[in-house]
């Protein structure tokens, strides 16, 4: 395996099969210290001031991240328990020339033990697991932090997939975090699809950003179940313009499901309240896919249910409203106007709430599939 000096003077290895480096060529040691140490382990120490911290590493490689964890645990006189997955372990002959012991200022014996697969002292209880991320026996809610250090998506796309991220979230404790050097938009969306809250944070030298994904724990959190009507007739869809605390917004008519009624009855009741006439609720169009945190209260997660709905009889309400009607300081709070929008020109992003945007996207997709 070929050695290569990186920009901060530390060394990395080149993997000939995948034609990738084990670390950032902008600085291997700097990447390890920033991405996994400062943004991962230090945060975990702060979150959990006592007891040992469990690190699950995906890709032990040369073991540099584990050495950084040893240094950090020693500095604060704590212990980390590390399980590192590695289906293709490197040998001491591969790792020795990197000079990691001198670089990280760790006794050479510790480095050797890590490469051999097991090391225990007062700061580190390390075990290598010789299996890949999908095959390894992992424990539910074991890890405080996941060091996600797979080769880049271009080299190993299967590592950055939804099933892998599902498994990582399952392996994390509530409130735990996964850190990775990668900042790609589609990786971020994959993590969100798996239920992570993802933040783009400043990256190591040479890389503007990195990702940190949190398994959000909200013991006080509540679901807010809402039901909406999607009324389409004559090439137009019924929308509601409302004056809300954040300004004038466009949304679907409907609202919160009340105790004792189902979403279908809620839509019929909302129609009586908002439209002043009855409706027939038809097929289910869409149920929220994403976790939509309420714009009004971040302890509430909106689960929106949109049904195709039709008016019973002709329109019996004022239906000439526009967004202009609910804009401006003079409009009283909660004022509502109803209006129609042409389905051919209405875009998901025209809706204010992400849950409505999802539902209108679903309506458009359904129409396109016909």
Would you count residue 161 as binding ligand SAM (CB under 6 A)? no
| CB-based contact 359:286 (threshold 8 Å) | yes
Q: Nearer to ligand SAM by C-beta: 149 or 274?
A: 149
| Sites for ligand SAM among residues 1-30 (CB under 6 A) | 22
For residue 113, give both structure tokens. Answer: 């033990």
Q: Which is closer to ligand SAM, CB of 116 or CB of 284?
A: 116
**From candidates 43, 86, 274, 358, binder to ligand SAM by CB under 6 A:** 86
- Here's the x/- map for ligand SAM, 39-78, by CB under 6 A: it reads as -------------------xxxxxxxx-------------
Least distance in angstroms from the C-beta of 124 to ligand SAM = 14
Minimum CB–partner distance for residue 32 and ligand SAM (Å): 6
Contact letters (x/-) for ligand SAM, 275-314, by CB under 6 A? ----------------------------------------
Taking CB under 6 A as the criterion, the residue among 74, 121, 132, 206 binding ligand SAM is 132
Q: In what order do the strands lie in the sheet with 80-85?
A: 118-120, 124-129, 80-85, 53-58, 143-148, 172-180, 209-214, 197-202
Interacting positions 87-106 with ligand SAM (CB under 6 A): 87-88
Residue 149 in the binding site for ligand SAM (CB under 6 A): yes
Measured from the CB atom, the residue of 87 and 247 that comes closer to ligand SAM is 87
CB-wise, 144 or 149, nearer to ligand SAM?
149
Among 73, 104, 146, 150, interactor with ligand SAM by CB under 6 A: 150
Q: Does the protein bind ligand SAM through residue 204 (CB under 6 A)?
A: no
Nearer to ligand SAM, 132 or 153 (CB): 132
For residue 70, the minimal CB distance to ligand SAM (Å) is 12
Q: Residue 133's closest CA among 148, 152, 111, 114? A: 148
Nearest CB to ligand SAM, comparing residues 53 and 150: 150
Residues that bind ligand SAM (CB under 6 A): 22, 58-65, 85-88, 132-133, 149-151
């Amino acid at each position: 395996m070929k050695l290569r000096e990186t920009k901060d003077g530390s060394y990395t290895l080149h993997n000939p099969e995948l034609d990738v480096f084990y670390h950032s060529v902008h600085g291997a040691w700097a990447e390890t210290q920033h991405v996994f140490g400062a943004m991962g382990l230090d945060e975990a120490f702060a979150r959990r001031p006592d007891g040992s911290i469990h690190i699950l590493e995906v890709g032990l490689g040369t073991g540099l991240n584990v050495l950084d964890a040893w240094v950090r645990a020693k500095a604060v006189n704590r212990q980390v328990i590390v399980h590192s997955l590695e289906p293709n372990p490197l040998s001491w002959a591969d790792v020795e020339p990197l000079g990691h012991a001198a670089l990280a200022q760790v006794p050479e014996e510790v480095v050797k033990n890590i490469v051999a697969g097991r090391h225990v002292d007062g700061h580190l209880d390390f075990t290598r697991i010789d299996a890949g991320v999908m095959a390894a026996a992992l424990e539910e809610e074991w890890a405080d932090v996941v060091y996600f250090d797979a080769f880049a998506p271009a080299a190993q796309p299967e590592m950055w997939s939804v099933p892998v991220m599902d498994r990582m979230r399952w392996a994390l404790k509530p409130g735990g975090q996964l850190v990775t050097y990668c900042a790609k938009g589609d990786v971020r969306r994959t993590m969100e699809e798996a239920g992570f809250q993802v933040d783009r944070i400043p990256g190591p030298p040479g890389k503007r950003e990195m990702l940190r994904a949190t398994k959000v724990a909200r013991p006080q959190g509540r679901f807010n179940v809402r039901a909406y009507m999607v009324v389409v007739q004559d090439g137009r869809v019924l929308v509601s313009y409302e004056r809300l605390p954040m300004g004038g917004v466009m949304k679907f008519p409907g609202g919160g499901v009340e105790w004792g009624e189902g979403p279908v009855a809620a839509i019929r009741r909302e129609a009586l309240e908002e439209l002043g006439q009855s409706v027939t609720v038809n097929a289910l169009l869409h149920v929220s896919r994403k976790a939509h945190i309420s714009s009004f209260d971040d302890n509430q997660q909106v689960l929106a249910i949109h049904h195709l709905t039709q008016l019973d009889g002709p329109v019996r309400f004022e239906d000439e409203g526009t967004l202009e009607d609910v804009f401006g300081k003079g409009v009283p709070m909660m004022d509502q106007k109803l209006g129609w929008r042409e389905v051919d020109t209405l875009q998901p992003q025209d809706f204010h709430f992400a849950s409505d945007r999802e539902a209108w996207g679903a309506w458009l997709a359904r129409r396109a599939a016909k």
